[in-house]
Homo-oligomer: A and B are copies of this chain.
Amino acid sequence: MTGPARPAGGQRPTIKDVAALAGVSKGAVSMAFNGRPGVSDATRARVLAAAGALGWEPNLSARVLSGSRVDTVGLVIARPARMLGLEPFYMEFISGIESVLAGRDSALLLRLVRDPDEEIEVQRAWWRSRQVSGSILVDFRRDDPRVAELAGLGLPAVAVGHPSLTGGLPAAWTDDAAAVAEAVRYLAALGHRRIARVGGAAELGHTAIRTAAFEAAAHELRLEQWSSTDTDFSGSQGARATRTLLASPRRPTAILYDNDLMAVAGLSVAAEMGLSVPRDISLLAWDDSQLCQLTRPKLSAMSHDVFGFGAEVARRLLAVLDGAQPQTGPVATPVLAPRDSTAPPRR
């Protein structure tokens, strides 16, 4: 086979060599490779030909030839941009990922999309062009199309979700069913017989898991009354759901929320309706960002180290990139952090 034409001296080709061979400036080489306006098609073709002849390419050669590697990790989120900024979960999760990547000179490539099908296109393109070394996959739905499509791609990935949702992909998850059961048992032990849950987005697999666990616990504990409402995780939908519950003729005496932002909103609704927390109504949050300790009363929560979860997922992915066998298994289960928003119901 024919090796690429190397510049004199056997040195690694540089952009200068490509520019000289193509008879253009270094800036023109950059523009041609970067797809920018400012060079003609003919010039672009000449630059590409020169680069090909010299074996030069702008993105990967330096690090491949130096033997070093800088990993970029992909994360695609199919949620509205507005929502992403409002809910503490993702920023804490991303911060945890970044805390691990920063130690490896690595960065996170973050993209918002409309749905899992669009994510599949993005992940394919990223992997094909090696813009990412691997990806973290989140927000699995039931029968998620990513399971089959991405498993076949060869893309190193860690799926954040229960194995019942993530199929054969290496996965990390919290045991949401166990945590929901603990939450309901705690409220029942305080004496609550009418418990409502303000849940998350119905299309997400982990919401369905929590809903089923809530139903099962309510049955098992022979509650007098229970209900689950779906929301989009926003404070405003959390407030609306709470208002509906508290305005009902036979209102619940305790409410379990699927995140903490909605519980903070619920606290505000209770005050607006003249109800005292926890005397008139107990509220129990989920995720437990620092929000829960900034309210009055402080919110009891199913506490979950979201930052640590992100860090652990990143560590598992980097281990795969280093050649380790993919690891599948749960991370720590959310645990009850009782504070001042839960108490026995008034008799």
Chain B residues whose CB sits within 8 angstroms of the CB of A49 once the complex forms: 1-4, 55
User: Are A36 and B110 CB-contacts (below 8 A) given A85-B91, A296-B267?
Assistant: no
Question: Do B69 and A95 have beta carbons less than 8 Å apart?
Answer: no
Is A129 located at the chain interface by the 8 A CB criterion? yes
Q: What are 16 A-B pairs at a CB distance below 8 A?
A: A1-B21, A2-B53, A33-B60, A35-B64, A35-B69, A36-B323, A62-B129, A82-B95, A85-B88, A86-B92, A98-B111, A98-B112, A107-B109, A235-B293, A265-B294, A267-B294
**How far is B37's CA from A323's CA once the two chains are assembled, in angstroms?**
7
Is A130 located at the chain interface by the 8 A CB criterion? yes
Is A180 located at the chain interface by the 8 A CB criterion? no
CB of A331 to closest CB in B, whole Å: 16
Interface flags for A50-86 (1: CB within 8 Å of B; 0: not) read 1111111111111111011110100000000110111
Is A172 located at the chain interface by the 8 A CB criterion? no
Chain B residues whose CB sits within 8 angstroms of the CB of A23 once the complex forms: 1
User: A48-B55, A62-B129, A105-B122 provided; 8 other pairs, C-beta below 8 A?
Assistant: A1-B50, A1-B53, A34-B130, A49-B55, A57-B59, A85-B88, A261-B294, A264-B294
Report A1-38 residues with CB < 8 Å from chain B CB. Answer: 1-5, 21-23, 27, 30, 32-38
Chain B residues whose CB sits within 8 angstroms of the CB of A110 once the complex forms: 94, 98, 107-110
Chain B residues whose CB sits within 8 angstroms of the CB of A106 once the complex forms: 111
Is A133 located at the chain interface by the 8 A CB criterion? yes
Smallest Cβ-Cβ distance to A57: which chain B residue? B57
Name A133's contact: one of B34, B50, B98, B111 (CB within 8 Å).
Answer: B34
Is A327 located at the chain interface by the 8 A CB criterion? no
User: Are A72 and B109 CB-contacts (below 8 A) given A52-B53, A57-B59, A294-B264?
Assistant: yes
Report A114-166 residues with CB < 8 Å from chain B CB. Answer: 122, 125, 128-131, 133, 154
Is A341 located at the chain interface by the 8 A CB criterion? no
| Copy count, this protein chain | 2
Is A225 located at the chain interface by the 8 A CB criterion? no
Is A248 located at the chain interface by the 8 A CB criterion? no
Question: Do A59 and B60 have beta carbons less than 8 Å apart?
Answer: yes
Question: Do B85 and A64 have beta carbons less than 8 Å apart?
Answer: no
User: Are A107 and B99 CB-contacts (below 8 A) given A57-B60, A86-B290?
Assistant: no
Chain B residues whose CB sits within 8 angstroms of the CB of A131 once the complex forms: 59, 72, 131
Name A53's contact: one of B3, B27, B235 (CB within 8 Å).
Answer: B3
Name A35's contact: one of B38, B63, B84, B129 (CB within 8 Å).
Answer: B63
Chain B residues whose CB sits within 8 angstroms of the CB of A128 once the complex forms: 58, 62
Question: Do A235 and B56 have beta carbons less than 8 Å apart?
Answer: no
Smallest Cβ-Cβ distance to A132: which chain B residue? B107
